[in-house]
């Protein structure tokens, strides 16, 4: 009989072996049932921007990741899921796919908003590029109407978005309008300012364009004053500001002219009658020291005619702030020399005067003191020329006074002028001189408009000393044409000497 213990051990061993085998099989079977058969590797083609690595943590865990493709090995379901997620990531990350194409579009930008689209140092165009993920640049050439072509490059959706941004910017720009305003012609000079400083300041402050039409003037119904036309261009707010600044200048000019009128009203008329211009005190042209003009070629200015010898030899003063200063100077000189016992010309050796000296001299019509230049001596009489008016008079030397330096700061105001007309006789008749004095309001302190035509050399043909050749206008009437019309003169075009630029009158010499 076999040993029972041996048989029992064998049975137990077989049982354990069978149990182990069954357990292994069960383990293998359950594992196998949980998995599907493996499939070959699938490739998910995803292109990355050059030099830009992907930053998706889930995709980073996939196998065989390269800058060009993502390769994964998984079950059929897992691979499909990876493909879907990869494509979703590519879209969300703005990664272009092989089938995407770059689109190039051109858009016309109105000339008035080109600068705004670009922005300061290109800040606006850079922001549009950044927001739309496109590249934008302007073509160098300009269209006939001044507009510019803008080129946009990028994906179709991005290009469309960039176009929307640009169009919204254009539509948001204020509408530019144009307006004409009328201003008194006499205010134009103030609005322009010295070398254009005032009008540039108005444009800088208002951001509007301001243009004065120098060839167009209008007269309002019932008003004899001429008005100039000013063109304003910009937004409505810009135009409103520019107009208010211009009207401020007009008001200042109006107040200034009221002061001028007040000064003119207090001036003593220096012309008694035409005989004063035709007597022996009227010097011959070659005897006159020719002053350098203060007026600019082709300039239009407002003047007084202060002294007349004949239509080709008279003196003018430019109306302006210096007119007020000149009257103040005359009052100050008269008050000064009436209160102080200044040295008299030849009574004191230290006070001796010489030809060419600038002195203080009375004027016979009002006994006020004026600046004068000594022309010659004849015994105890001196011939003087009043440098601010142009008159010549004979004055007793004991009436002359040494001029104080404080009275020499203002430039000499008298400017020699000529209408450049031909005298029909050997010399200008007194009647013709009288007519010219009446037409020009000589020494009556009524302003005229002068248009500078050129400059006349002296009798020797030298341009060192010149007289200004001009046209005198009393509103619409040309005084020279009126004299020709009356048969008092004929037109003469020769001998006009055109200069390269203005010759300004020298400063008065300083007294010793």
For residues 217 and 225, give the distance between their C-alpha atoms in angstroms, rounded to a whole number: 10
- What pLDDT sits at residue 142? 84
CATH class of the domain comprising 275-491 = mainly beta
pLDDT digits (tens, 9 = 90+) for 347-398: 443 458 899 999 999 988 887 899 999 999 988 899 999 999 998 999 998 8
Confidence at residue 169, expressed as pLDDT on a 0 to 100 scale: 87
Domain(s) of CATH 2.40.50.90: residues in the chain = 275-491
> pTM, whole model, 2 decimals?
0.52
Residue ranges matching CATH 3.30.1370.10 in the chain: 103-172, 177-265
State the pLDDT at residue 453.
83
The answer to whether the beta carbons of residues 173 and 234 sit under 8 Å apart is no
The correct CATH number of 103-172 out of 3.40.50.1580, 3.30.1370.10, 3.30.70.1230, 3.30.530.20 is 3.30.1370.10
DSSP codes, 314-357: EEEEE-SHHHHHHHHHHHHHHHHHHHS-PPBTTTSGGG---TT-
Instruction: Report how far residue 509's alpha carbon sits from residue 412's, in angstroms, rounded to the nearest whole number.
Output: 10
Could you report the per-residue pLDDT of 74-113, keeping only the tens digit for each?
Answer: 444 555 666 666 666 656 655 555 446 788 988 888 887 8
Starting from the edge strand earliest in sequence, which strands make up the sheet with 135-142, in order? 103-109, 148-154, 135-142
**CATH architecture group of domain 177-265:** 2-Layer Sandwich (3.30)
- Those residues of the chain that have pLDDT short of 50 are 36-44, 46-76, 98-99, 272-293, 342-350, 496-512
What is residue 474's predicted lDDT score, i.e. its pLDDT?
87
- Write down the pLDDT at residue 78: 59
Q: Which two tokens stand for residue 409?
A: 């700061």
User: C-alpha angle with apex 245: 240 to 250, nearest 5 degrees?
Assistant: 120
Q: Tell me, what's the pLDDT at 457? A: 65
Pairing mode, strands 467-474 and 415-418 = parallel
Report pLDDT for 344: 46
pLDDT at 451: 87
Q: Residue 342 burial (CB < 10 Å; 0-12/13-18/19+)?
A: middle
Confidence (pLDDT) at 352: 80
């Amino acid at each position: 009989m076999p040993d029972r213990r041996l048989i029992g051990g064998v049975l137990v061993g077989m049982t354990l072996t069978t149990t182990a085998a069954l357990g292994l099989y069960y383990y293998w079977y359950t594992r196998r049932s949980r998995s599907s058969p493996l499939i070959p590797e699938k490739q998910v083609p995803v292109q990355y921007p050059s030099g830009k690595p992907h930053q998706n943590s889930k995709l980073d865990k996939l196998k065989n990741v390269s800058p060009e493709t993502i390769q994964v090995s998984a079950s059929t379901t897992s691979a499909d899921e990876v493909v879907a997620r990869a494509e979703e990531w590519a879209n969300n990350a703005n990664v272009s796919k092989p089938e995407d194409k770059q689109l190039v579009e051109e858009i016309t930008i109105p000339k008035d908003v080109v600068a705004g689209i670009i922005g300061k140092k290109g800040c606006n165009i850079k922001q549009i590029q950044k927001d739309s993920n496109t590249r934008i640049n302007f073509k160098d050439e300009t269209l006939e109407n001044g507009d510019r072509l803008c080129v946009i490059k990028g994906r179709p959706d991005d290009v469309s978005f960039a176009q929307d941004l640009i169009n919204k910017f254009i539509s948001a720009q204020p509408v530019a309008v144009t307006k004409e305003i009328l201003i008194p012609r006499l205010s134009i000079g103030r609005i322009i300012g010295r070398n254009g400083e005032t009008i540039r300041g108005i444009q800088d402050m208002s951001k509007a364009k301001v243009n004065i039409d120098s060839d167009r003037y209008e007269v309002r119904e019932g008003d004899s004053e001429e008005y100039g036309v000013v063109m304003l261009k910009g937004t409505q707010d810009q135009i409103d500001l520019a107009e208010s600044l211009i009207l401020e200048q007009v008001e200042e000019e109006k107040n200034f002219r009221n002061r001028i009128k007040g000064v003119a009203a207090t001036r003593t008329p220096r012309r008694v009658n035409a005989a004063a211009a035709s007597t022996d005190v009227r010097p011959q042209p070659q005897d006159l020291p020719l002053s350098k003009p203060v007026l600019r070629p082709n300039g239009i200015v407002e003047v007084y005619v202060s002294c007349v010898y004949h239509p080709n030899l008279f003196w003018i003063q430019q109306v302006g702030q210096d007119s007020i200063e000149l009257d103040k100077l005359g009052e100050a000189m008269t008050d000064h020399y009436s209160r102080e016992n200044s040295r008299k010309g030849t009574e004191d050796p230290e006070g001796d005067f010489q030809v060419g000296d600038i002195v203080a001299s009375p004027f016979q019509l009002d006994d006020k003191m004026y600046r004068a230049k000594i022309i010659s001596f004849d015994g105890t009489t001196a011939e003087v020329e009043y440098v601010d008016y142009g008159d010549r008079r004979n004055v007793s030397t004991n009436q002359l006074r040494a001029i104080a330096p404080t009275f020499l700061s203002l430039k000499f105001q008298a400017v020699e002028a000529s209408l450049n007309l031909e005298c029909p006789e050997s010399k200008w008749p007194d009647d013709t001189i009288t007519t010219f004095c009446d037409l020009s309001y000589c020494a009556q302190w009524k302003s005229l408009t002068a248009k500078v035509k050129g400059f006349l050399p002296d009798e020797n043909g030298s341009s060192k000393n010149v007289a200004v050749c001009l046209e005198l206008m009393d509103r619409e009437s040309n005084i020279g044409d009126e004299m020709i019309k009356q048969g008092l003169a004929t037109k003469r075009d020769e001998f006009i000497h055109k200069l390269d630029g203005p010759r300004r009158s020298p400063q008065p010499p300083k007294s010793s």
